[in-house]
Amino acid sequence: MGSPDPQYRRQLNGMGGGVSSLSKICVVGPPSSPDRVSEVDVDYAFVQVGIDDGLLDLSGNCGNLSSMIGVFALDEGLCRPRISDDGDGLATVRSYNTNTSKIIDTTFPLSTSDEEPATVLDTPQVEMAGVPGNASRILLQFVNPAGARTGKLLPTGNAIPASLVDATNTTVFISSQDLAHILGLDGHTLTTTHYTSPDVEATLECIRQTGAKRMGLDPSVKAQPKIAVLSERAANVEDADIVIHAFSMGVLHKAVPMTVGLCLGVASGVEGTLAHAIVFRAHSRREDGDGSMIRIRHPGGVVEVGADFAEDGTVLNAQVVRTGRRLMKGAVWW
């Protein structure tokens, strides 16, 4: 990946791109346990590569890369697809993430005109915020996502002003109003300038580490938990229910890590969390709000996520629609 690169943080001697979202690896293969052969199609491990220290962090998972595991596995001949019986041209690949011991389903269009089924990624179905053009719809579903690291949806046992939630990835959620108060900026709307200042980054890292301790995690691990700041949407903005500024490896993310977005989708359905309070107010003002899906505004645009709950409050799945494409295939010399 071009790490370590402590001087310039650009990873010019590797495949990385100098930001945490471009310094990631997924290792995909057949099910590694005989007990999982009948349940899943492939296993995969996610690795976050430190830019300036070269450390390999396997403590969490990545939603964006998870959305392409099924496509990659099928293209590489690692498994056969689970083809829908209703003839809708869709296939599902079920994967097992070894980092979190969770199952993830990806469903995408499939061409069966040739001898071997092939993935179809260029159907103009979905447009992603920050990504030019339309592409095929990939439905990403995290099955039973709660407790991916700590074993509990709310690791501290309750929802507090800093909501600590473990679903797809552990995340510390705080409100922008509380952060502004800590910074002595009461009444101010926090902007990108605030979020990218060293003082704010240091404050958020301190809160993140405190949250990690409360969740029983190692506070020195930068990748877990994540931290995100939640805000109400502006009064004149109708395209979203909640606004998020998420941080990855200590810096403001240009969009939102998808596992954080999915975690927010789950949290919005749990009474007592900051997310639920904000989304509940937004849905009460929204005629088409059914409560099952929420629209998140992030620095790069808007994404829609959802979660299904059982009657006893158990999280059945968390889901999001993505797109994807293969960029390259070849040999990387190390």
Q: Does domain 162-311 have CATH number 3.90.850.10?
A: no
- State how far the Cα of 48 lies from the Cα of 243, in Å rounded to an integer: 26
Provide the token pair at 239. Answer: 């395209």
Displacement of CA 161 from its chain's centroid (Å): 22
Beta bridge partners of 42: 95
- According to DSSP, residue 35 is labeled G
Q: Say whether 162-311 and 20-143 share the same fold.
A: yes
Per-residue model confidence (pLDDT) at position 132: 82
User: Residue 224 in contact with residue 213, Cβ under 8 Å?
Assistant: no
Entry pTM:
0.82
- State how far the Cα of 195 lies from the Cα of 164, in Å rounded to an integer: 20
User: Residue 318 in contact with residue 296, Cβ under 8 Å?
Assistant: no
Provide the token pair at 110. Answer: 């499939």
By DSSP bridging, strand 42-49 and strand 138-143 are: unpaired
Q: pLDDT tens, position by position, for the chain (334 residues)?
A: 899 999 988 898 888 999 888 999 999 999 999 999 999 999 999 999 999 998 999 999 999 999 999 999 999 999 999 987 777 889 999 999 999 999 999 999 998 776 777 899 999 999 988 788 899 999 999 999 998 888 889 887 766 689 999 999 999 999 999 999 999 998 888 999 999 999 999 999 999 999 999 999 999 998 899 999 999 988 777 889 999 999 998 999 999 999 999 999 999 999 999 999 999 998 876 655 555 789 999 999 999 999 999 999 999 999 998 999 888 888 888 7
Domain ranges in the chain are: 20-143, 162-311
By DSSP bridging, strand 293-298 and strand 242-248 are: parallel
Beta bridge partners of 163: 173
Provide the token pair at 266. Answer: 């789950």
Task: Return the ∠ at Cα 94 (arms to 256 and 133), rounded to 5°.
Answer: 45
Q: Between 3.30.70.2740, 2.60.40.10, 3.10.310.10, 1.10.287.3510, what CATH number should domain 20-143 receive? A: 3.10.310.10
- State how far the Cα of 11 lies from the Cα of 17, in Å rounded to an integer: 6
Per-residue model confidence (pLDDT) at position 105: 96
- Tokens 């392409």 locate to 68
Detail the DSSP E strand segments found in the chain. 24-29, 42-49, 56-57, 82-83, 90-97, 102-111, 118-119, 126-127, 134-135, 138-143, 163-167, 169-175, 226-231, 242-248, 251-252, 293-298, 301-309, 315-322
Q: CB-hemisphere CA count at 13 Å for 241? A: 31
Per-residue model confidence (pLDDT) at position 87: 77
- State how far the Cα of 212 lies from the Cα of 59, in Å rounded to an integer: 12
- State how far the Cα of 256 lies from the Cα of 63, in Å rounded to an integer: 10
